[in-house]
Amino acid sequence: MRLNIIGLNHRTAPIKIREKVTIPEDELAKANRIFHETAGGDESMLLSTCNRVETFVVGPTEEEAREATLDFLEDYSRPGIEGLDRYIYSLHGEAAMEHLFKVASGLDSMVMGESQITGQLKIAHAVAQEEGTVGMDLNQLMSYALFTAKKIRTDTRISELPVSVSSVAVELARKIFEDLTRRKVLLIGAGKMSRLAARGFLSSGIDQLSIINRTYENAVRMSEELGGTA
């Protein structure tokens, strides 16, 4: 299988770059169609989270897949992005397969063993299937990757406790302050990770939650959903 994985993640790109190329879940189907046409490969798929954006392409050479990914991300990203190529990594063949297995299992995450990425991969694959951009090769590879992720979580202690960046933040606050019931929490940002952190803090019985975000309406939406002040 001529598999290429091209992307950027928390190790290669700062958050100001990652947030400009992140593809919202409600745009993923459209983005899959556009990228598939851009890449010109036999099969393709997009994975987009707050910590990584990766393209999976079967068919083209590694250089062709890289150029197609750069063209797509530069066209699709938010304005103001420059020099994207210096944040990009390219993986081909066995190295690409090994990377996918690590991603699916939470071994390539910002917090080792976090399980959210497995669900995000399932969603990415399901969207690509619905759009008809994947076929036998990527379907089989995703099946193996998800099976491996499940086996690792079953046979090892990697996910003994629920782990994510947000849960680590809540746990650290508990260790520092012990009792959170009289504490006031200010969350900066109203994205997915902030929402998960907010739920964790609220379940710990905090006294007050405030949410600040550059788009005020998003802070209001989150505060109405979970409780708190924008």
Select from 117, 137, 155 the last residue of a domain: 155
Provide mean pLDDT across the span 45-69. 93
Name the band, by pLDDT with cuts 50, 70 and 90, for residue 160.
low
Percentage of the chain beyond pLDDT 90 is 54
Q: Does position 230 have pLDDT exceeding 90, yes or no? A: yes
In a domain, 172, yes or no: yes
In a domain, 160, yes or no: no
Q: Does position 146 have pLDDT exceeding 90, yes or no? A: yes
Quote the pLDDT of residue 79: 66
Quote the pLDDT of residue 159: 66
Tell whether 133 and 183 lie within a shared domain. Answer: no
Contact status, residue 108 vs residue 99, Cβ threshold 8 Å:
yes
Quote the pLDDT of residue 154: 85
Quote the pLDDT of residue 58: 96
Percentage of the chain beyond pLDDT 70 is 96
Lowest-confidence segment of 5-14, 174-183, 214-223 by average pLDDT: 174-183
Tell whether 195 and 221 lie within a shared domain. Answer: yes
Tell whether 37 and 133 lie within a shared domain. Answer: yes
In a domain, 32, yes or no: yes
Number of domains, the chain? 2
The residue behind tokens 């086996």 is: 151
Tell whether 80 and 133 lie within a shared domain. Answer: yes
pLDDT tens-digit map of 89-145: 999 999 999 999 999 998 898 777 778 899 999 999 999 999 999 999 999 999 999
**CATH number of the domain to which 20 belongs:** 3.30.460.30
Enclosing domain of residue 35: 3-155
Tell whether 65 and 176 lie within a shared domain. Answer: no
Q: What is the dihedral angle through the alpha carbons of 104, 110, 113, 119, rounded to the nearest 10 degrees?
A: -40
Q: Does position 162 have pLDDT exceeding 60, yes or no? A: no
Tell whether 190 and 119 lie within a shared domain. Answer: no
User: Long-range contacts for 143-147 (Cβ within 8 Å, ≥24 apart)?
Assistant: 144/101, 145/100, 145/101, 145/103, 145/104, 145/121, 146/104, 146/118, 146/121, 146/122
**CATH number of the domain to which 180 belongs:** 3.40.50.720
Q: How many residues does the chain have?
A: 230
Tell whether 139 and 172 lie within a shared domain. Answer: no
Q: Among 194, 199, 187, which residue's Cα sits nearest to residue 229? A: 187
Tell whether 38 and 132 lie within a shared domain. Answer: yes
What mean pLDDT value characterizes the chain?
A: 89
Provide mean pLDDT across the span 11-36. 91
pLDDT tens-digit map of 67-104: 999 999 988 876 667 788 999 999 999 999 999 999 99
Provide mean pLDDT across the span 152-159. 81
Tell whether 95 and 30 lie within a shared domain. Answer: yes
Quote the pLDDT of residue 65: 93
The residue behind tokens 């990425």 is: 117
Tell me the CB-side half-sphere exposure of residue 102, using CA atoms within 13 A.
13
Instruction: Please give the Cα distance from 57 to 59 (Å, whole number).
Output: 7
Contact status, residue 229 vs residue 206, Cβ threshold 8 Å:
no
Is 28 among the catalytic positions?
no
Given the residues 3, 45, 50, 152, select the one marked as catalytic.
50
Quote the pLDDT of residue 176: 86
Tell whether 43 and 89 lie within a shared domain. Answer: yes
In a domain, 199, yes or no: yes
Tell whether 58 and 22 lie within a shared domain. Answer: yes
Name the band, by pLDDT with cuts 50, 70 and 90, for residue 186.
very high
Burial class (CB in 10 A: 0-12, 13-18, 19+), 119: exposed
Tell whether 169 and 128 lie within a shared domain. Answer: no
